[in-house]
Structure formats: structure tokens, C-alpha cells
Structure 1
């Protein structure tokens, strides 16, 4: 009994070594995920620290002529005061288009011809009717002359008492009928001649001519097309070509209704064409259309070129600067004036004035020499050229040379 109790006491004092590996496995099971989580957090932190900051940019620009005299600006498109879709006045099949797109034409020049066989048949029939009416008139004239002579002889005989008075009345009545037949023949001849003129006019309408000097801007139909005497915008029912007078170009600019009070007829203006951005063209306000586009709350102002520039075409984009007073001819060019940047793009520190240039998504610090301030801009007497992208209002961002940046999208 005592031996059994001794063995129980000794077994209670023995260390159970089978539990140690189990505890180690539990610790490893928690340490591995924790280590992975720490590694991920380190990688995310590194990626965030290397992420390219977003910056807002603007371009260095050359000053435009007349900026100091500009009352307001507006955008629009070039159009022509004479621009028409040329269509025939009669229906028919197109047998010839005598011009091509881009060809200059003179007033009265043949543009196209329609099949004229039906019109010639109608004209021949009208001419035949005229000849028949002329023959009928000649016969009526002869009958009237004969009736006049018979009436005169009958009157002489009646005075002499050779014939009775009743016979004289019958002859005079017959003479009046002959005269009325003569009048009818004359009227019928006039109608036949008018019908012949109408047929000749219809035949002339099969030849389509240019109504004014211009340039063919579009060819709308080819030989074989059957045309109706009409043309609707967007749907061609009879148009053959579109003709534009390139010497009567003007700009249709849209001005908000709140700004209309600042526009006056005859006001000087400068026109800038998107296709010719390096030049400014003097113009003048011709008229303001007396209507407001309610969807946009704008009115159309027509600005005419003082001299239509070579290369200007209808539907070109344009910008108009409405001036307070005309510019001297020497001020129409802005050449020689230093470029400008937004004032907020110029940073000043211990190294002097500079701008942050963005090229290929990376930053470069470029020193500048600043000139006069013009509104919200500064002129640069030394620095990057026009068209260079610079960071606007860098603020507290920590920027450095070679840093990769992301350009903020417009409107964002």
C-alpha cells in the first residue's frame, strides 16, 4: 500500500514533455500571419510614399494682340454672307455636273445640266401652236379686211337706194363678227406666244447656272440622280452643289445676353482663327441678330473681317476680342513681347524665383526672371518658352527635381 502511494507521488512530480511541442505549434500559427500582415503594411506604406502627387498645370503663353483693349471675348465660327445650296428649278434627271469641289466659278457659269428631252418636246409643241395661231390671225385679218370693204360698198349702195336698209344691217353685223374673230385670233396668238416663252424658260431651267461668284464647297449629287426642285437643310432633295462666296466671310460669335449691352454696331474687334493661331485679323461688329437662343441664353453677333485672310474657310473655329477702341496697325502683332505665366506658378525661395516644369510626367525646377505683372499673370524675361507646362500653385507640396507627378485632368 505504501509502495503504491510512493509511485503516485513520484508520477505527480514527473514533467509532461508532450505538451511543449503543441504550444510551440500554436505560437508559430499566429506568428506567420502576423509577420505577413506587417510585411504588407510596410509595402503599402512604401507604395504610398512613392505615389506620384497630382499637380495642376498651365502653359506658358505668348500675349495676344490687343489684350489691354479687350472689352470681352467670345467664341464662334466662320461663315459666309452668301452661302447657298444650288438646286434646279424643275424636276429632272441629272445628266452632267460641270464643276468639282474647290472650283471657283463665275456668276452665270454652267454648273449642271438636266435631261431636257421632255422640255424640248413641250417647246416644239408650243412653237407649233404659235405658228398655227399666226396663220389663224392672218386668215382673220383677211376676212376682216374683206368684211370692211363689203360693208363700205353696201353702205354706198344703200345711200343710192339700190338695196334695202335691212340688207345693210346684215352686212354690218357680219363685219362686226369678223372683227371679233380677228380680236380672238390676236388673243390666241398672244396666249400661244406666252406658252412658248414658258416652255423656253422651262428648257433653260434644265441648265443650272451659278447665281453669284463663289467656290464649290460641296458636291451633293452625281450624274443619274433624279432631283426635285427643292433643297432642305440636312436632307438633300434637289441640291447639286453648295456654293460659297469666300470673299464675304464673317464670324458668327455667341455672346451671353448679360454681355450684349457691351456690344455696339461698328465696334472694333480682333479675330483669331484656330487654324491660324499665330495671327490676329482686324474686324468690326456688323450686326447683332435680334433673337436669343433660350437654351444657351446667347445672341449671335456677326463680326466682319476688314480684309478676308487667305486660307480662311467657312466653319473654322474662331475667337473674337471686342475692343474698346481700334488698335494702331503696329500693335496687331505681339512678336517680341515676353511670354506670360500665372503668377501662382512662380515660386520664390533661397535660390530665387523659379517654376516647376512638367515634362514626360517628371518635374524640373527652372529658374526664371520675372518682368511686369499683368492682371493675374507675370511676364517672363527669362525662363521656359511658350507652350511649356508649369505647375500652378504648388502650395505646401514637397517637390523636387526628377519627381514623378500626375497632371490633374481639366475640370477635375
Structure 2
């Protein structure tokens, strides 16, 4: 087979062949693309300029308390009752009656619960019967004493008349002495019987659980039918029946850092805020400072007493305590409306804010008050309103705005 001749095959390396008019068309398309890009950019700029929507930042009008101006230190803690007791019985027995529930208000010495006491009642009845027996013996002894005294008197007269012997006189005298001695024994027996009856009465009283002070039942730890023991050592038995607290002794226990102890003192005015009721601000005062530090936390336990009381305050509520430089005057005990100072600007010589309403702003005249912390008191808007922060001089009433992206 003959070999192909490829000597005639070659590549032209000269100038490239170009279709007539191709370069001019290419330049024309480039110009069109540039015009479209410039027009798009210009359109976006024009839309931004002529839509009237200015980009703004907003802040929320807040509700604040003037007492913040007097606050030296804040601490957290819990509400506790200084007078609190877990009520049980010194006797052991089955709970027969329970007359309270959680939240029940009781008075001092009011009967709260009662254990079965038939055996103790029987012992008391026996002891009281023994007292009556001892009293009957005393009456019998007194009768014998009267008879012995009369017999001794007759014997003495007969002896003086020589009608009886001296031995008969001695016998009468011995009988009288014995009768007197029996009276002392009968009196002692009565005292012993009464002591036994008193002990039985105490044992009976111990089966009745009474309120030691005026208070409110916090928890119910046992039910009717449960076995009650003093130390709850037996299986399936209960110790305390109920837990009671005196609500008039509620205090807040707060931990204060060791580095801030110079800012607090006894009888210092405070303001107590409860997490459960944020709108509730109660006046208080430093009652006492526990004279020992918690080494692990480097804190001191400070107890704050309530000056203002509210029935909604309950033990173990979490609370915040603001230690104040002075007591809050009556005019500062109400919350006020405040906003960041940068939101207030001057228009026509008057302070105004721009209230956000949808995508528009409305110019609202306000009255400025005092400075409270980082905010300024204002009147004319309400808490929760959105206002423009640091509005520029071009912003006007009714202007369209958009929120700036952060």
C-alpha cells in the first residue's frame, strides 16, 4: 500500500480572515450594553431620589422610673419569711382530722389538725378518777381525825378523874397523831394524782396541733390517715403536717458583692422589684446585714424589710433590690415616659419627635422633662411608640421612610 503524500498540507499563518462589517457590529453592541447599564444605575438612583423614602433608624419609647436616678447598687435575691414553722406533733399517731388547706389563714392557738387520741383520753380519764379517789381518802381521813380528836379529849378528861389508866390515854394520843399523819399522806396522794392527770392532759394536748402564731398555710405535707411521728423515722410516716409562715415578716434576702459593701448601710432606703410583677415597685429598707461573708461567692447576705406591703408578695419569689442614695419622694413613685435624647430634635423652636406610622413619619410635639439615667422624660408620646433616632434636618412631617438595615 502506497504512503499518502502530506507535503501539500499546511496552515496559513498570515493575517486572520475577517468578515466585512463584523468589527463595527461588535462595537455597536458594546455601546448598547454600556447604555443599558448606565440607564439601570441611573434608574435606581432616580428611584431612590424621587420615591421620597429616607432610610432611618428607630427606637422605642420606654416606661421608666425616676428612682433610677437615686440607685447606687442593684442586687438580686428571694423573698423569705423570717417567722416560719413546720408544724408537727410530739405524739405519735394517725392523723384523724385536718382543718386547713394551702393558703388558709389561721390565728394563734387555732386548732389545725388532730391525731387519734382515744388511748390518751382514756389515760386522762383514769388519772382524773385517781384524783377523785385521793380526794375521797382525804375526806375519810379528815373524819377519822375529828373522831380521834374527840376521843383524845374524852380520854384526857377521864384520866384527870382517875377513871382510866395512863395506857388508855397513850393509845388515844397515838390514834390522834396517826390521824394527823394520814391527812398529810392523803394531801400528798391528791397532789400526785393531780400531777398524773396534768401529764395525761399534756399528752392529750400533744395530739392536737395548733397554730403558734397568726399566719398563712404554705404547704400541706400530710393527709388524713397518715401516720405522724415526731422525727419521721418510721416507714411511710410523716413528720410535719403543714408549714406556716407569718406574712407580716416577709423580707428579701439579697447577696451583695464584697466590693460593694461600702455602698450599703443599715436603715438605707431601697426599692424592691418582683420578677412576677414588673410594674410593682415597693419601698423597703435595709433591716440587717448578716455579720459573716460567704467565702465561696465573696458576698454578704443583706436582709431588706418591706415598707410598702402587697398581698401578692409570696415567699420564695425572686426579687431585685435597688439600694438608693435617698428615699423616693411621693412624686417620683409613678412611672414616666422616656426616650433617648437623640430622638428629640427642634423644629420651629419647639422639641419634636418623628413618630413612625407604617412607612410614614408624623411630627409630634413633645415636652421635655428631667434626665433619668440615659433617657429623657417626655410627654406627648406613649410607651411602645416607635420614633426616629437622630432624624436629619431634611426629614419632615408625612415623609416616607424605610428602616435602615443593620
Task: State TM-score, norm by structure 1.
Answer: 0.66
Distance 1:101 1:385 in 2: 39
The answer (yes or no) to whether the contact 2:72–2:324 under 8 Å persists in 1 is: yes
- Cα deviations by residue, 1:333-357 (Å, 9 ceiling, x for unpaired): 232x31459x9xx9xxxxxxxxxxx
CA–CA separation in structure 1 for the residues paired with 2:232 and 2:279:
39
Alignment-derived partner of residue 315 in structure 1: 316
Structure 2: gaps (5+ residues):
1-58, 344-365, 387-401
Over 3 Å counting, the alpha-carbon distance change for 1:66 and 1:257 in structure 2 is same
> Are the equivalent residues in 1 in contact too, given 2:67–2:333 (CA < 8 A)?
yes
State whether residues 79 and 252 of structure 2, in contact with CA within 8 Å, keep that contact through their aligned partners in structure 1.
yes
Q: SS where residue 338 of structure 2 aligns?
A: coil
Structure-2 separation of matches of 1:221 and 1:179: 56
Structure-2 residue corresponding to 1:82: 83
Following superposition, the deviation at residue 383 of structure 1 comes to: 11
Partner of 1:219: 220
CA deviation after TM superposition for structure 1 residue 380, in Å = 8.9
Question: What is residue 243 of structure 1 aligned with on the other side?
Answer: 244
1:68 aligns with 2:89: no
Q: State the shift of 1:205 in Å.
A: 2.6
Superposed CA offset, 1:270-308 (max 9, x none): 111111111211111222223333322322222111131
What corresponds to 2:193 in structure 1? 192
Alignment match, 2:284 = 283
1:24 matched residue in structure 2: none
- SS state of the match for residue 139, structure 2? helix
Structure 1 stretches lacking a partner, 5+ long: 1-57, 347-368, 389-399, 406-412
Alignment partner, residue 32 of structure 2: none
Which residue pairs with 2:105 in the alignment?
104
Q: Is the 8 A contact 2:61 2:338 kept in 1?
A: no
Please state whether the residue corresponding to 1:325 is helix, strand or coil: coil
Secondary structure of 2:64's match? Answer: coil
| CA gap 1:296/1:163 in 2 versus in 1, 3 angstroms | farther
Structure 1 Cα separation of the partners of residues 385 and 314 of structure 2: 26
Distance 2:156 2:303 in 1: 81
- State the shift of 1:259 in Å: 3.1
Report if aligned partners of 1:78, 1:315 keep a CA contact under 8 Å in 2.
Answer: yes
Q: What's 1:293 paired with?
A: 294
Give the secondary structure class of the aligned counterpart of 2:332.
Answer: helix
Secondary structure, in 3 states, of the residue corresponding to 1:77? strand
The reply to whether residue 175 of structure 1 matches residue 167 of structure 2 is no
Per the TM alignment, residue 316 of structure 1 is displaced from its structure 2 partner at its CA by 0.6
- Give me the whole-angstrom Cα distance separating, in 2, the residues matched to 1:401 and 1:73: 35
Distance (Å, rounded) in 1 between the aligned partners of 2:321 and 2:196: 55
Q: How much does 1:184 deviate?
A: 1.0
Q: Where does residue 349 of structure 1 map in the other structure?
A: none
Q: CA 1:209–1:73 in 2, change beyond 3 Å: closer, same or farther?
A: same
Q: d(CA) in 2 for partners of 1:199 and 1:238?
A: 23
Partner secondary structure for residue 179 of structure 1: helix
Q: Distance in 2 between matches of 1:193 and 1:287?
A: 48
Q: Distance in 2 between matches of 1:265 and 1:231?
A: 41
**Cα RMSD after superposing both structures:** 4.3
1:149 corresponds in structure 2 to 150
Quick one: distance in 1 between partners of 2:110 and 2:277?
32
Report the Cα distance in structure 1 between the residues aligned to 2:377 and 2:275, rounded to whole angstroms: 25
- The answer to whether the aligner puts 1:328 opposite 2:336 as a matched pair is no
Match of 2:230 in 1: 229
Q: CA deviation at 1:133?
A: 1.0
Equivalenced residues, count: 330
Are the structure 2 counterparts of residues 230 and 289 from structure 1 closer, same or farther at C-alpha, using a change threshold of 3 Å? farther
Provide, for residues 179-234 of structure 1, a one-character-per-residue CA deviation record: whole Å limited to 9, x for no partner.
122101111111111211221232233222222222211110001111113489xx
* TM-score of the aligned structures, taking structure 2 as reference length: 0.67
Equivalent position SS for 1:112: strand
Cα-to-partner distance string for 1:133-169 (whole Å, 9 max, x where unaligned): 1121112212222222222233333344444445434
Are the equivalent residues in 2 in contact too, given 1:220–1:236 (CA < 8 A)?
no
